[in-house]
Amino acid sequence: MVELTINGRSERVDVEPTMPLLWVLRAELGLTGTKFGCGIAQCGACTVHLDGVAVRSCSLPVSAAAGKSVTTIEGLGTAEEPHPIQQAWIDAQVPQCGYCQPGMQMAAVALLATNPDPTDEDIDRGITNICRCGCYARIRQAVHATHLEG
């Protein structure tokens, strides 16, 4: 039994400790906002926050999340209460197919938490997620336009 805190909620899941957090989220807890893209931490579609730090959940065994606070895209914000980055994403019309964007936003928020005013080079080095639709220019624009509260 693994005890987790996901978006502020306690969850207990009866799975192997080696099951990647991604598949616990998607298939055991029904949180499908976090996406599967590659399974080898190459693409970042599965990015979530573990105690505020961006991690690729496809390659993180669920046991490593035990006792820590996990934030997924569902916990970042909603249509009623969007996170500033989500408003910036909508204002800049960032997504094309949208599949990589939950992970992309999670990676961007983690970057902004440590670097509130990143340069383009900071973004290039700090966000290595893949977007096959090629939204990189608008992502950069939206990151520059985002000011985290507090």
Partner 1 sequence: MKLNLSRRSFLIAGGVIGGGLMLGIGGVAGYVASHDRLGMQRAEHQGPGHIVALWLRIDVDGGVTLLAPHTEMGQGSQTGLRQLAAEELDVAWDQIRVEQAPADYAYATGAIVEGFLFGELDGWAKTFGSGLANRIADGMNMQMTGGSTAVRYTGWMSVRTAAAAARQMLIGAAAASLGVPRAELTTTDGLVRHEASGRTLSYGELAADAAAQPVPDKPPLKDPSEWRYVGRGMGRFDLPDKVFGTAEYGIDTKVDGMRYAAVRQSGPFGAEVASVTNEAEILARRGVEAVVTVDNGVAVVADNPWRAEQAVRALTFTVTATEGDAVDQATLWQRMDEALDGSLSSLHSEGDVSPVEERADVEATYRVPFLAHAPMEPMNCTVWEQGGQLHVSAGVQNPLSTRAFLAETSGRPFEQVALHTRTMGGGFGRRAIGGDGTARYLAQGVQVHQAIDKPVQLLWSREQDTRAGAFRPADTAKLRARLGSDGKPIAWDGASYANLNEVDQAVPAYRIPGVRVRGAQADPFLPFAFWRSVDASSQCFFVESFIDECAVQAGANPLDYRLSLVDPADRRAGVLQLVREMSEFRTGVDGRGRAMGVALNHCFGSYCAIVAEVSLDGDRPRVHHLWIAADCGVVVNPDSVEAQLQGGALYGLSAALYGKVEVKDGAAVQSNFHDYPVVRFRDQPALHVQTIQSAESPGGVGELGTPPVAPAVCNALAVLGERVRVLPVVG
Contact residues for partner 1 (CB under 8 A)?
Answer: 15-16, 19-20, 22-23, 26-28, 30, 32-40, 42-43, 45, 72-74, 77-79, 82, 86, 89-90, 93-102, 105, 123-125, 127-140
How near is the Cβ of 40 to partner 1 at its closest, in Å? 6
How near is the Cβ of 55 to partner 1 at its closest, in Å? 17
- The nearer residue to partner 1, 99 or 144, going by C-beta atoms, is 99
How near is the Cβ of 43 to partner 1 at its closest, in Å? 6
- The nearer residue to partner 1, 11 or 74, going by C-beta atoms, is 74
- The nearer residue to partner 1, 27 or 113, going by C-beta atoms, is 27
Alpha carbon of residue 146 to chain centroid = 16
How near is the Cβ of 45 to partner 1 at its closest, in Å? 6
How near is the Cβ of 74 to partner 1 at its closest, in Å? 6
- The nearer residue to partner 1, 70 or 105, going by C-beta atoms, is 105
- DSSP for the chain reads -EEEEETTEEEEE-S-TTSBHHHIIIIIS--TTS--S-SSSSS-TTEEEETTEEEEGGGSBGGGGTTSEEE-HHHH--SSS--HHHHHHHHTT--SS-TTHHHHHHHHHHHHHH-SS--HHHHHHH-----TT--HHHHHHHHHT-----
